[in-house]
Amino acid sequence: MSTILFMPESAYGPTNNCIGIGDVLRRRGHRVVFAAEASWRGRLALLGFEEDLVDLAPPAEDEQDPGRFWKDFIRDTAPEYRKSTQDQLETVIKPIWDALIDGAKYCEPGLREIIARVRPDVIVEDNVVCFPALVTAGVPFVRIVSCNPLEVKTSDVAPPFSGLPADGAGWAAFHAEYDRTHRETWDAFNQWVVEQGAPALPDLEFIHEGDANLYVYPEILDYPRSLPGWTRLDSSVRETDGDFAIPDIPGEGALIYFSLGSLGSADVELMRRVIGVLAGTPHRYVVSKGPLHHEIQLAPNMWGAEFVPQTKIIPQVDLVITHGGNNTTTEALHFGKPMIVLPLFWDQYDNAQRVHETGCGVRLSTYGFADDELTGAIERLLGDQALRTRLNEAGQSIRGRDGLRVAADVIERAALG
């Protein structure tokens, strides 16, 4: 059996994606090791994985929650999410790249030590930035894109992070602004990557393609283009969550799941605004309250907690209100549920636009929606029986394609060289 080293980004989405795939490989008898960020200590071992963790910055004096850096980042930069996606390039997207690059540089020596200790047969990275140690280890490298696959750039689709429509409107201006805001950062990072012994990066890309490449996106949303060398996973829904019964919630209306993700929910003002509107409807809600849960008061027609087992809740609800993170978007479609999408940053605008373009739900202006736009979208989607039938059939197809095991097969083949 093979030794497989996973290195996911510290955020919950990529880590949970790797947990799902890694669990299949572990149950097939492989040795699965996580070189996750140090704040995940102990949590991965509980799921049966080995941990050999990395610090992406000098260790904090107190214990850190998983993904704490990104939660704090989102909280501190929340005012920037009111800007257009093009304006966010300088005030949100570039600072994210800067932080990711700082982490890659800081952990490079430690990551090389981990690879020497673990001696993996294959390395799997679910991240958006290059760690040179992973591509110079002399073993096959598998890249996973668990964000919107526009991050695999081609000229026939909208630029990533833009949320622009498929008709080409605004693409050129967005590309030009991305070049202006990111060229200097990319030049310096590429030089450092080459100095570490890795190949030069493709122009304005912050990560290489792998010996094998996976992306997570259901066919019903996917873009009409060819991606040679890439395998699509229609979904990647972990099977490690235990069974969960939703507590009784007063009311007779539909059951709806509301989540802005572990990061978006750090915008307490936005959470309160949405909750206030939902409180006036006849429906019942399950709310993922997130890291600042103690600052969020739920209405009588709601139940929620800091963390909820999303993969066990979505199958039980009628509709999902989401920020458009890739995990929630693909999981909603895995279970055949329509969506209302309130994007904040990064790939969330791209997912929101794609949900809208493909008729799988409604995209709203996250900070500019009127109350009746949200409540009207809820009633419209709940009442659209043709859409519900279409998505139910799509969900059956997605589940039948079994993305977890497709991914595990690709990784096994890579390990064999």
Show the domains of the chain with their CATH numbers.
Answer: 3-237+402-415 (3.40.50.2000), 255-400 (3.40.50.2000)
CA quadruple 90, 91, 97, 101: dihedral positive or negative?
positive
- Per residue, the 3-state secondary structure of the chain, as one string, reads CCEEEEEECCCHHHHHHHHHHHHHHHHCCCEEEECCEHHHCCCCHHHCCEECCECCCCCCCCCCCCCHHHHHHHHHHHHHHHCCHHHHHHHHHHHHHHHHHHHHHHHHHHHHHHHHHHCCCEEEEECCCCCHHHHCCCCCEEEEECCCHHHCCCCCCCCCCCCCCCCCCCHHHHHHHHHHHHHHHHHHHHHHHHHCCCCCCCCCCCCCCCCEEEEECCCCCCCCCCCCCEEEECCCCCCCCCCCCCCCCCCCCCEEEEECHHHHCCCHHHHHHHHHHHHCCCCEEEEECCCCHHHCCCCCCEEEECCCCHHHHHHHCCEEEECCCHHHHHHHHHCCCCEEECCCCCCHHHHHHHHHHCCCEEECCCCCCCHHHHHHHHHHHHHCHHHHHHHHHHHHHHHHHCHHHHHHHHHHHHHCC
Strands 212-216 and 141-145: parallel
Query: What pLDDT was estimated at residue 13?
Result: 84
Tokens (6 digits) for 202: 């493709």
Under-70 pLDDT residues of the chain: 60-75
Q: What are the tens digits of pLDDT across the range 22-57?
A: 999 999 999 999 999 888 889 999 999 999 999 888
